[in-house]
Amino acid sequence: MDTDVLIVGGGTIGLAIGFELVRRGTPTTIFEKDRAGRGTSYQAAGMLAPDAEIEFEELELYTFNRESLRRWPDFAKRVEAASGQSVDYRDEGTLIVADDRDAAEALERLYTFQQEQGLNVEWLTGEEAREIEPFVAPRLSAAVFAPADHQVDNRRLVDALRTAFEAEGGTLHEHTPVDAVVPDAEAPAVRTADGERVAGKRIVVAAGVWSRELDGLTPDAQPPVRPVKGQMIQMRRTRPFDLQHVVRGPEAYLAPKSDGRVVMGATSEELGFDTTVTAGGLFDLLEGGWEVVPGIRDLPVDETWAGLRPASRDHAPLLGESAAPGVAMATGHYRHGILLTPITAEEMARLICTGETSEWIEPFSPQRFSLADSPAASA
Ligand code: FAD
Ligand code: GLY
C-alpha cells in the first residue's frame, strides 16, 4: 500500500487531519472500525462555544478553543468546497440564561469572569433576552449574550469531511478495526483485526474514547482517555416554534439546526462505556430544557441517544508525538472536539509534514502525562 500516514479512527478529528494532509499532498489512509463519522462526533451538539464554556481553571484551553473558533469559517469553506456539502455554519450567537435566583448569581459570577478575561459578552435583562430570542421563557430574569459563540451541524460536518477526504485522494477503510499499533521510528505499522500488518511513515491515533484500548503501546505511551457519558434528546421544530439561537440553561442546552432538528443535551456521567438512555437522564434534560424554552413541550421527539466524551485527566486534548516512536496522538478532545477540529487538523498536519510542533499544540503534548507519571516527577 502506497501511503505515508496511517490514521486510526474516522471521527471528526481523524477525518479532518486526513483532509488537511491529503490537501498538502501527503498520501493518507484512515482505518475506521465501523462507519466513518458515526462515533462521538455524530452524537455531539455541534456548538462552537469557547465563551459560554470557559472554565475558571482552564485558561490555556480557552485560548486554544478561541483560536480554533477563529479558524472555523475558513475551514468550513474549504470542507464545503472540497465536498460540495454544507456543514450548516450558523453565527446567530448563544444566550446563556438563568431561571432562578441561584442561577442568576452563578451567571453573574460567570459574566464577571468573562469580562475580566476580555470576552465579548453582554449582560441582558429577561426582556432584552426575549427581544433577541422570543422563545426563551417569560419568567427568565437575566441572560448573557455571547455573539461570537457559533455552531455547526456536526452530522453534516462528518459526512462532508468524509467526502472531502476521499475527493482529495485519501483512502478510507471502513469496518476495519485496528487491534494494535507497532511503534517504530522509521516504519511504524498498524495490525488490523483480520491480522493484516500495514506499515507507513507515521501513525496518528485519533480513536476518540477508544484510544486507550489499542494494543502495542507501553503504559507511558497509552493516552489516559476515559469516557464521560452524555445523554441527548432530539426534537423536530414545528411552527410556530422557531428557536434561532443556541440557548444554555443551568441544566440543559438547546441547539437548533437548519434542517429542523433541535438538539438538547446533555448529562455528564462517569459510567465507563455505558450508553444506556435512562428515564432519569431524559427527565432531567426535559425539565431543564422546558424551564428555559417552554415551547419545546409540543415538539415531537424523534431521537434519543447517549454519547461518550473522550476526557483526559486535565480535560485538555493530547496532540503531538507520543512516547512511542513513530506514533502521534490526536485525542482527548472531551467537550470541545467539534470546536477544536480546525486547529487540531491544521496543527497536526503541520507537525507531520514539517516535523515542527507549533506553539499552539506544544502545551497539549501527550507526553505531559508520561512525564507526570515518571518516578523522577513523583520523587
Ligand atoms: P469519534 O468521533 O468518536 O471518532 C473516533 C473514531 O475512531 C470512531 O469513529 C471509532 O469508531 C473509531 N475507532 C475507535 N477505535 C478504533 C480502532 N481500534 N480501529 C479503527 N477505528 C477505531 N464538542 C463540541 O465541540 N461541541 C459540542 O457541542 C459538543 N457536544 C457534545 C455533546 C455530547 C453529548 C458528547 C458526547 C460530546 C460532545 N462534544 C462536543 C464533544 C465531541 O463530540 C468530541 O470531543 C469529538 O466528537 C471527538 O471526536 P473524535 O474524532 O476524537 O472521536
Ligand atoms: N460541549 C457540550 C457537551 O459536551 O455536552
- 183: buried, middle or exposed (CB in 10 Å: 19+, 13-18, 0-12)? middle
CA-nearest residue, atom 5 of ligand 2 = 266
CA-nearest residue, atom 45 of ligand 1 = 337
Instruction: Specify the pLDDT at position 57.
Output: 87
* Shortest-distance ligand to the CA of residue 348: 1
Which amino acid, 304?
T
User: Which numbered atom of ligand 1 lies nearest the CA of 232?
Assistant: 34
232 has pLDDT over 90: yes
What digits encode the pLDDT tens for the residues 260-274?
Answer: 999 999 999 999 999
Q: What percent of the chain has pLDDT over 90?
A: 95
What digits encode the pLDDT tens for the residues 108-138?
Answer: 999 999 999 999 999 999 999 999 999 999 9
Q: Which long-range contacts (CB under 8 A, 24 or more apart) does 130-133 make?
A: 132/93, 132/95, 132/245, 133/95, 133/243, 133/244, 133/245, 133/247
User: Which numbered atom of ligand 2 lies nearest the CA of 336?
Assistant: 1
Pocket lining: 266 vs ligand 2, CB cutoff 6 Å: yes
Residues in the chain, total: 379
Question: Distance, CA 55 to ligand 2 centroid (Å)?
Answer: 13
Ligand 2 pocket check: which of 335, 339, 340 to mutate, most ligand atoms within 8 Å of Cβ?
Answer: 335
CA distance 243 to 288: 16
Q: Are 49 and 245 in contact, with CB atoms under 8 Å apart?
A: no
Chain centre distance of CA 192: 26
> For residue 256, what pLDDT band results from cuts at 50, 70 and 90?
very high
- Residues having CB closer than 6 A to ligand 1 are 8-14, 31-34, 39-41, 43-47, 177-178, 206-210, 214, 230, 232, 265-266, 307-310, 331, 333-339
Which residues lie across from 319 on neighbouring strands?
330
Compute CA distances 32 → 11, 36, 366, whole Å.
8, 6, 22
Domains of the chain with bracketed CATH? 2-49+155-225+313-378 (3.50.50.60), 94-147+226-311 (3.30.9.10)
Residues 6 or more apart whose Cβ sits within 8 Å of residue 337? 11, 12, 13, 40, 41, 44, 208, 309, 310, 317
What digits encode the pLDDT tens for the residues 1-19?
Answer: 457 999 999 999 999 999 9
CA nearest neighbour of 250 among 170, 143, 92? 143
CA-nearest residue, atom 52 of ligand 1 = 208
CA-nearest residue, atom 4 of ligand 2 = 335
Residues 6 or more apart whose Cβ sits within 8 Å of residue 362? 320
Q: Are 228 and 269 in contact, with CB atoms under 8 Å apart?
A: yes
The radius of gyration of the chain from alpha carbons, rounded to an integer in Å, stands at 21
Instruction: Specify the pLDDT at position 141.
Output: 86
User: Which numbered atom of ligand 1 lies nearest the CA of 36?
Assistant: 9
Ligand 1 pocket check: which of 196, 214, 335, 348 to mutate, most ligand atoms within 8 Å of Cβ?
Answer: 335
Which residues lie across from 246 on neighbouring strands?
94
Which residues lie across from 182 on neighbouring strands?
189
CA nearest neighbour of 255 among 304, 298, 294, 289? 289
What digits encode the pLDDT tens for the residues 330-378?
Answer: 999 999 999 999 999 999 999 999 999 999 999 999 999 976 655 544 4
Compute the average pLDDT of residues 182-189. Answer: 97
Pocket lining: 45 vs ligand 2, CB cutoff 6 Å: yes
Instruction: Specify the pLDDT at position 371.
Output: 64
Ligand 2 pocket check: which of 55, 149, 253, 308 to mutate, most ligand atoms within 8 Å of Cβ?
Answer: 253
Q: How many CB atoms lie within 10 A of CB 237?
A: 19
CA nearest neighbour of 68 among 168, 149, 7? 149
Q: How many CB atoms lie within 10 A of CB 253?
A: 26
CA nearest neighbour of 220 among 378, 325, 370, 324? 370
Buried b (16+ CB within 10 A) or exposed e, 108-132: eebbeebeeeebebeebebeebbeb
Compute the average pLDDT of residues 146-155. Answer: 98
Instruction: Specify the pLDDT at position 374.
Output: 56
Residues 6 or more apart whose Cβ sits within 8 Å of residue 10? 18, 30, 31, 32, 36, 37, 162, 172, 174
